[in-house]
Each structure stands twice: as C-alpha cells, then as structure tokens.
Amino acid sequence: MKNVIEIENLTKYYGKARGIVDVSFSVAEGEIFGFIGPNGAGKSTTIRILLNLIYPTSGGARVFGRDCVKDGYEIRRDVGYLPSEVFYYDDMKVLELLKYSASFYGRVDMQRLRYLAEVMELDLGRKIDDLSYGNKKKVGIVQGLLHRPSLIILDEPTGGLDPLMQQRFFGLIREENRRGATVLFSSHILPEVQKLCSRVGIIREGKMLRVEEIGSMRDTAYKKIRLEFREEVPEAPELPEGAGDVQRSPRELAFLFRGDINEAFKSIARFDLRNAVIEEPDLEEIFLHYYGGEDGV
C-alpha cells in the first residue's frame, strides 16, 4: 500500500529548545492514523513541518511522495488542516471566512459548504469575533473539509466540542475516510483515538515511542481486573504473577494483568468476593502504563 506521509529522522529545535528528535513513521493511504502524546510532546511541531509552516532542523518528510520543504505548495493543495488553536480574521463573518478559505482551492462548492455547516450546526451569518471557542472549532472543521482534501490533518480537533458535535464530527471524518481520504489525527485524549483510528503513533518528549495497531495494542496487552471484597482487603493479598499497577482501597482491589488468565483465576478464587469485573483496559490506562513504565523502571 502507498504511503501518504513518510517521516524520516525528523528533528526540530527551536533555538535550544527541543521540538522533536529523530521522529520517523509513515501513514498509509486510506488509514486513520492516531498521533498521541501529552501536551508539549511535539505533535504540533511535526504537523506544522508537514505543512511547511516551519522548517526542520534535520531529517525530512514526504507527503504524497513530495518533499514537504520543497513542494509545500503542491502538497497543501490537497490537504485540509485544522489547527489545535483556531484563530481567524476577527472582522470576517463565518460565511466570508469559509468562502475566503475555499477561494484558495478554486471554486466554492456552496452546496457542500451548507451541508457541512448544517451538520455542525454552524451559524454562517455570525461574526468570527463573537463566536465561542467551540464554534470557532466548527468553523475550523468546515474550512478543513470543504475542499474534499485527500489528506486531512487534525490537531487536537475535539477541544471545545460538545459530545453530540464530537459524534457528528467523527461521522464526517469517517465519511471522508470511506471516500478515500487519509487522516492524521493528533490528540492527547485516548478514547477518541480508540474510537476512530486504526493505528496509533505514540510520541513523548519529542521522541516516537512506538507505532501500533489499535487492535494488537489491546490484545497483547492487559486485562483490567477489579475485585470487590466482602470484608476488608487483606494487608498483602497474594496476586497472580503478571499483575501490576495495583490500586487498593479498604474493600476494593484493582490491577492490570498480563499473563495466563488461568493463573489469575486460581489466585482470585482464594478471596471472598462480592463482585469481580474483568475489562479491556482503555488506551488511557495502557498509555499511562507506557509512560509510567518508562519512569518506573
């Protein structure tokens, strides 16, 4: 399969301050790629290099097979971008801004504009300056999707959107994806990445930790086991091998487990329980584990 984004040993320093160091990964055509990491990890830096807004210190990146420093113009013709912080020309009305945005790509498809605005419940007649943060985000979403780009880059797009709007927004992204668009979705909120993405790249302190299939991440890894006791939890309960991240309260015990599930049941059977829950941990917990793991060792 063709790669839409190929990043190789990309490094960016802002003077002496670290942006990203030696980042490499690629995004295949037609996939929704999650790009996760905490604040300041380097997500926006990577994205802004892809768009040729800033220049890499070393290394390089290709989008649609083109060099993103040399061919920024050609690349941007087919990219839709939603920045993490949305700022637009305060003196414009929403419709004006959207038309202005569309004018860079050729003709304005008014029908599509109205469709997107309707889905996102965006009032086209209001002044940008009077919009709430969430509404500005909606403007950002519409201007990013308006020209049917084949690569959609979303930098922490859901901030400020209420749950209903998030749903609608995810719906639009899936729709575009089915149509063939590739999506790079940056976020620090894992459940939303989990919902939408097929693969994730995890970045931290400017370095890529790893790239994983969402599915394999969940399978191979951990179960989350939560036990409620009738009596108080014993001082040092005997836990199965492979248990970690133990949290203990007077009547509850929770831990992450990786290993032979039979062994787990054997040790659990010794307790006098009122209830037991075994769940797939969400990415958040795995994510914390990656981070915690590195700090902990």
- Element at 228 (helix H, strand E): strand 223-229
Chain centre to alpha carbon of residue 293? 21
Angstrom distance (rounded) from CA 3 to CA 65: 8
Angstrom distance (rounded) from CA 244 to CA 35: 26
Angstrom distance (rounded) from CA 124 to CA 121: 9
Select 139 or 217, whichever has its Cβ closest to another protein.
139
Could you say whether residue 83 binds another protein (CB under 8 A)? yes
Structure tokens at 29: 């055509």
Select 55 or 265, whichever has its Cβ closest to another protein.
55
Select 75 or 193, whichever has its Cβ closest to another protein.
75
Could you say whether residue 170 binds another protein (CB under 8 A)? no
Q: Which of 2, 55, 121, 293 binds another protein (CB under 8 A)?
A: 55
Compute the radius of gyration of the chain from its Cα atoms.
Answer: 23
Select 99 or 224, whichever has its Cβ closest to another protein.
99
Contact segment (CB under 8 A) with another protein among 88-96, 117-125, 280-288, 289-297 equals 88-96
Angstrom distance (rounded) from CA 149 to CA 29: 13
Q: Which of 73, 125, 178, 250 binds another protein (CB under 8 A)?
A: 73
Least distance from another protein to the Cβ atom of residue 51, Å: 5
Produce one character per residue of 239-256: b if its CB has 16 or more CB atoms within 10 Å, e if not: bbebbebeeeeeeebbbb
Q: Which of 28, 53, 254, 288 binds another protein (CB under 8 A)?
A: 53
Could you say whether residue 89 binds another protein (CB under 8 A)? yes
Could you say whether residue 160 binds another protein (CB under 8 A)? no
Question: Interface residues for another protein in 130-149 (CB under 8 A)?
Answer: 143
String of contacts with another protein for each residue 91-120, x by CB under 8 A: x--------xx-xxx---------------
- 11 and 22 in contact (C-beta within 8 Å)? yes
Binding-site size for another protein (CB under 8 A) equals 29
3-state helix, strand, coil in the chain (%, to 5): 35, 30, 35
Least distance from another protein to the Cβ atom of residue 142, Å: 13
Q: Could you tell me the strand order of the sheet in which 17-28 lies?
A: 17-28, 3-14, 58-63, 66-67
Could you say whether residue 76 binds another protein (CB under 8 A)? yes
Q: Which of 9, 14, 231, 265 binds another protein (CB under 8 A)?
A: 14
Could you say whether residue 58 binds another protein (CB under 8 A)? no
Select 123 or 241, whichever has its Cβ closest to another protein.
123
Select 52 or 158, whichever has its Cβ closest to another protein.
52
Q: Smallest Cα–Cα separation from 35: which of 68, 66, 10? A: 10
Which residues have C-beta within 8 Å of that of residue 64, sequence separation ≥ 6?
A: 4, 74, 75, 78, 150, 151
Q: Which residues bind another protein (CB under 8 A)?
A: 14, 44, 48, 51-55, 72-74, 76-77, 79, 81, 83, 85, 87-91, 100-101, 103-105, 129, 143
